[in-house]
Structure 1
Amino acid sequence: MTIYTDVRPSPKMHTLHSSLLVDHTMGFTSSNHQLLSTIATNDQHGENSPYFDGWKAYDNDPFHPRGNPNGVIQMGLAENQLSLDLIEEWIAKNPSASICTPEGVNRFKDIANFQDYHGLPEFRTAVAKFMGRVRGGRVAFDPDRIVMGGGATGASELVVFCLADPGDAFLVPSPCYPAFDRDLRWRTGVQLLPVACKSSNNFQITRAALEEAYKNAIEANIRVKGLIITNPSNPLGTTVDKETLKSIVRFINDKNIHLVCDEIYSATVFGPPNFVGISEIIQEVDCNRDLIHIIYSLSKDLGLPGFRVGIVYSYNDAVVSCGRKMSSFGLVSSQTQHFLASLLSDEEFTERFLAENAKRIKNSHQLLTKGLAQVGIACLPSNAGLFVWMDLRSLLKEATIEGEIALWRVIIKEVKLNVSPGSSFHCVEPGWFRVCFANMDTKTMEVSLKRIREFISSKGKTENVATKKLKLRRLSFSSRMYDESSAMSPRLMSPHSPSPVVLAKTS
């Protein structure tokens, strides 16, 4: 039932692990002493998933238009590089925003010295106003409720540490972000329980699915502490509609469990419907606000993942207080806070940036989805995020996770595209892939689409040849029809194989 299990072993498991531990660096085996911690010696980080394996394939053979034109193109990284030029222009016009320039060096001593882990007041104020601006001014945020973390990763873990003990669980609608394994549970020891969402309703979260997952947890004697959702969704690229959000709030309020809303893609919405944050919903639905918490960052909306700016915004005073104490383990540097306070306080710039960034994301999204559609590949209709949820179910030789991974290996090794298989997002339906489009320029996108066209064309020719041979065998009533080693193999006749007719039209 669980996506992940508690990494903290029982005493019996601990004893067994200790007795078998071998320190390969020292050539020493111990029967009564474990040299390293459980965290250091387990493999629960999630790094061994295909999601991260694709990154490694890219790192080993990275595409470059001139230096390595046949290398792997990175389409597995949800990074926004489309509007960094706008920030570069702002920096050139505002050199005093940095303490490392002649214009800003007069603030060097103040900013370089130790800062309280509450954060610079001007930084928290600027972030609060920016969060409100992203939501169209429909809700205001209190700077005193902002807690810093080292990127969304650090902010997410901070919330879990505040809300749950090892062995407790959170419900997580799937498909979900693969690195939740690392972010939410690797060091905290909590469990993540899937809430299965399906393509039949475009992977929407339903009350029935939430109730079923909660019921299963209670029957398994697992304490559920909360529900974690991403809005806009990673990997779906969709916004959660208002009625669904209201249903979710009613559910967590009825169960008296927490709701953690990951809203780090809230300014990447490029089409209708508009983004509706949980802060707007709790203004309309009666609920215990102590149960509501938001994760935010500037990694996606501004394209600044290297700045490691993560934010926890909680309506629970105790969580804010505890979170501030814990934030000392993952503070945002005072230099970064100082710079961003100046940037985000420039309302004229942020308004222009948000509008232009959404326009550029939309253009890249359309370039990719139209290119895929030309070769018969559909994607889940989406209006946000830096990726699409691509449907390759028709290309599977068998509708299993093994079949999906086999196709993914071909795409990585032969097509040389790093796309992420749905199974790494805990999707219950094999054949879906997340494809990122905002970390590349138009020319690289065109190379990617060219490779996909050639791949689909080659698949079509292969299937057409097999189909012609099949017809000839049927006409001749050859006894070889029953020879599994022939082209009549059940593998070639799989109902999940691509349609030769469709592929012939698109190749």
Structure 2
Amino acid sequence: MALENESSRTIHQLLSKIATNDQHGENSPYFDGWKAYEIDPFHPTKNPDGIIQMGLAENQLSCDLIEEWIRKNPAASICTTEGVNKFKDIANFQDYHGLPEFRKAVARLMGKIRGDRVSFDPDRIVMAGGATGASELIMFCLADPGDAFLVPTPYYPAFDRDLKWRTGVQLVPVISHSSNNFKITKEALDDAYENARKSNIRVKGVVIANPSNPLGTTVDLDTQTILLKFINDKQIHLVCDEIYSSTVFAGNPPGRNFVSIAEVIEGVENCTVNRNLIHIIYSLSKDMGLPGFRVGIMYSYNDAVVQCGRKMSSFGLVSSQTQHLLASMLSDDEFIHHFLAGNSERLAKRHAEFTNGLREVGITCLTSNAGLFCWMDLRQLLKESTFEAEMVLWKVIINQVKLNVSPGFSFHCNEPGWFRVCFANMDEETLELALKRIKNFMENLKRKEEWRRNNLSRLSLKLSSAGGSRHDHHDHVGLNKASPRSSTTGILSPHSPMSQTQLVN
């Protein structure tokens, strides 16, 4: 053991602080659920009793539409007979500004998603390796190590990786509550800002996700106006992650329920907006279902940020082959119109099917209108209103129900019992199986509760007739306590469903 400890210390001395610190965020239930799935992944024939992945916000509902376009447009690829004549030019292109036709096509897509109510300048499009790369890039441009950004809760767990890990930036939570559907309030913004200031933390800005991950809700005009006035008053930045902007499925038309910060700064009243403070993160991972293409976009109204970001983008460029293909696809107005409408329709149908299935077994979700997931309310199933009880329930869901859902604790939610569950990353048959497993789980809980009540009633009658009395020490549905604290020493944290924790029988 002494030799192992000495070896570990030697390795740490030879590596950087980034390589040896624990700030990546992997010691989280969010990532531990993925690890459990990787060990025992569901497959309809090879492993039908495996864990179904419902912790991955991936859009597989409209892949066939893109496949159909590719079959009809073989010349868009330099790896086909029809398009190989472009091979040399595209294969040798490495300008970190990006292909002009690609930047123009992305700018047009961003405008179309917003109903052409606002336009985007192709010269402000800065490429990055997915939304992860774009998010980190904007942090490098705006903040120094130790500086902080306010982030409304609950928020995407990987923000702790994307925004903090290599940049040294801090994240200060802005607390939201279920009592008002987790809406951002000025009071919460003021409290978070003042608490940071009292701790001698320099706040450089606010980061929001619109639509929200994990809530699946869009940030309304009034809230964005509050945010604009807040950052304008403090002269700090506002970074809007809008990567789910085309996943809006409710409204008339669906996309009209989504209001981009780009629209708000055009019409906000009683506030002279300093546009140098406004920045947008975008990607094609969620809207187009193309996470493997690693197309991330940083769009800024600040010239200095655009220039700096473009220099940094050389560390995470989008492949020129990918740019070439997408430039052709995104410039096809007829296809984009068909895809955006069809994608919204399919998401609406899947969302309704899933939430109706949950409702039939007594589970409700936060009312949502966007995203690839639901914010599921399981507070009624907790033994007590604590995050320890939430962790126990989560492990039961993974190990016994065999579904990987993500607990609210990992999203920095301040109320235990909420879970994010994804519904767009699987086929219809797998979704039906997931709902069947949830139904069986809820029925089993109901039977256990009825058994408990019947036995307590009989026990009470016996004690009453005997003239005695005893206190009820039975646990609700047998859920045990577990600690939500993270470990920094092992591959799996105590959150992990694979750790040695007593589970429900």
By the TM > 0.5 criterion, same fold?
A: yes
Cα displacement (A) at 1:167: 0.2
Cα displacement (A) at 1:483: 5.4
Checking the alignment, whether the CA contact within 8 Å between 2:129 and 2:294 is kept in structure 1 is yes
Q: Matches of 2:31 and 2:20 in 1, distance apart? A: 19
Q: Matches of 1:481 and 1:495 in 2, distance apart? A: 28
Q: Matches of 1:483 and 1:113 in 2, distance apart? A: 81
Q: Matches of 1:328 and 1:475 in 2, distance apart? A: 76
Q: Structure 1 pair 35/455, CA: closer, same or farther in 2 (3 Å)? A: same
Note if 1:327 corresponds to 2:306: no
Checking the alignment, whether the CA contact within 8 Å between 2:361 and 2:442 is kept in structure 1 is yes
Which residue number corresponds to residue 127 of structure 2? 148
Cα displacement (A) at 1:45: 0.4
Aligned with residue 190 of structure 2, among 211, 226, 231: 211
1:86-105 to 2 correspondences below 5 Å: 86-105=65-84
Checking the alignment, whether the CA contact within 8 Å between 2:445 and 2:477 is kept in structure 1 is no
Cα displacement (A) at 1:473: 2.1
For residue 225 of structure 1, give the secondary structure of its aligned residue in structure 2. strand
Aligned with residue 449 of structure 2, among 457, 463, 466: 463
For residue 282 of structure 1, give the secondary structure of its aligned residue in structure 2. helix
Checking the alignment, whether the CA contact within 8 Å between 1:23 and 1:29 is kept in structure 2 is no
Aligned with residue 290 of structure 1, among 276, 279, 284: 276
Q: Matches of 2:476 and 2:15 in 1, distance apart? A: 50
Checking the alignment, whether the CA contact within 8 Å between 1:230 and 1:262 is kept in structure 2 is yes
For residue 146 of structure 2, give the secondary structure of its aligned residue in structure 1. coil
Checking the alignment, whether the CA contact within 8 Å between 2:373 and 2:421 is kept in structure 1 is yes
Cα displacement (A) at 1:495: 13
For residue 148 of structure 1, give the secondary structure of its aligned residue in structure 2. strand
Cα displacement (A) at 1:143: 0.2
For residue 229 of structure 1, give the secondary structure of its aligned residue in structure 2. strand
Q: Structure 1 pair 199/23, CA: closer, same or farther in 2 (3 Å)? A: farther
Aligned with residue 491 of structure 1, among 471, 475, 481: 475
Q: Deviations over 1:272-327 (max 9, x none)?
A: 26110000000012210000000000000000000000000000000000000000
- Kindly provide the amino acid, as one letter, of the partner of residue 141 in structure 1: F
Cα displacement (A) at 1:474: 2.0
1:105-504 to 2 correspondences below 5 Å: 105-272=84-251, 274-285=257-268, 286-477=272-463, 488-489=472-473, 491-492=475-476
Aligned with residue 59 of structure 1, among 29, 33, 38: 38
- Kindly provide the amino acid, as one letter, of the partner of residue 321 in structure 1: Q
- For the aligned residue pairs, the C-alpha RMSD in angstroms reads 2.0
Q: Matches of 1:329 and 1:480 in 2, distance apart? A: 78
Q: Matches of 1:495 and 1:410 in 2, distance apart? A: 9
Checking the alignment, whether the CA contact within 8 Å between 1:399 and 1:431 is kept in structure 2 is yes
Q: Matches of 1:481 and 1:123 in 2, distance apart? A: 80
Checking the alignment, whether the CA contact within 8 Å between 1:398 and 1:494 is kept in structure 2 is no
Q: Structure 1 pair 76/480, CA: closer, same or farther in 2 (3 Å)? A: farther
For residue 276 of structure 1, give the secondary structure of its aligned residue in structure 2. coil
For residue 429 of structure 1, give the secondary structure of its aligned residue in structure 2. coil
Aligned residues: 471
Q: Matches of 1:450 and 1:214 in 2, distance apart? A: 45
- Kindly provide the amino acid, as one letter, of the partner of residue 427 in structure 1: C
Q: Structure 1 pair 473/208, CA: closer, same or farther in 2 (3 Å)? A: same
Which residue number corresponds to residue 12 of structure 1? none
For residue 257 of structure 2, give the secondary structure of its aligned residue in structure 1. coil
Q: Structure 1 pair 481/242, CA: closer, same or farther in 2 (3 Å)? A: farther
Which residue number corresponds to residue 494 of structure 2? none
Q: Matches of 2:444 and 2:200 in 1, distance apart? A: 52
Q: 5+ residue gaps in structure 1?
A: 1-21, 497-507
- Kindly provide the amino acid, as one letter, of the partner of residue 85 in structure 2: N
For residue 283 of structure 1, give the secondary structure of its aligned residue in structure 2. helix
Cα displacement (A) at 1:492: 3.2
Cα displacement (A) at 1:47: 0.9
Q: Structure 1 pair 102/375, CA: closer, same or farther in 2 (3 Å)? A: same
Q: Matches of 2:149 and 2:57 in 1, distance apart? A: 24
Identity of aligned residues (%): 68
Cα displacement (A) at 1:198: 0.5
Q: Deviations over 1:405-464 (max 9, x none)?
A: 000000000000000000000000000000000001111110000000000000000010
Q: Given the two structures, how large is their TM-score scaled by the length of structure 1?
A: 0.90
Q: Structure 1 pair 425/481, CA: closer, same or farther in 2 (3 Å)? A: farther
Q: Given the two structures, how large is their TM-score scaled by the length of structure 2?
A: 0.90
Checking the alignment, whether the CA contact within 8 Å between 1:473 and 1:481 is kept in structure 2 is no
Q: Matches of 1:483 and 1:296 in 2, distance apart? A: 61
Q: Matches of 2:223 and 2:467 in 1, distance apart? A: 56
Q: 5+ residue gaps in structure 2?
A: 481-505
Cα displacement (A) at 1:135: 0.1
Cα displacement (A) at 1:24: 5.7
Which residue number corresponds to residue 51 of structure 2? 72
Q: Structure 1 pair 489/89, CA: closer, same or farther in 2 (3 Å)? A: same
Q: Structure 1 pair 495/348, CA: closer, same or farther in 2 (3 Å)? A: same
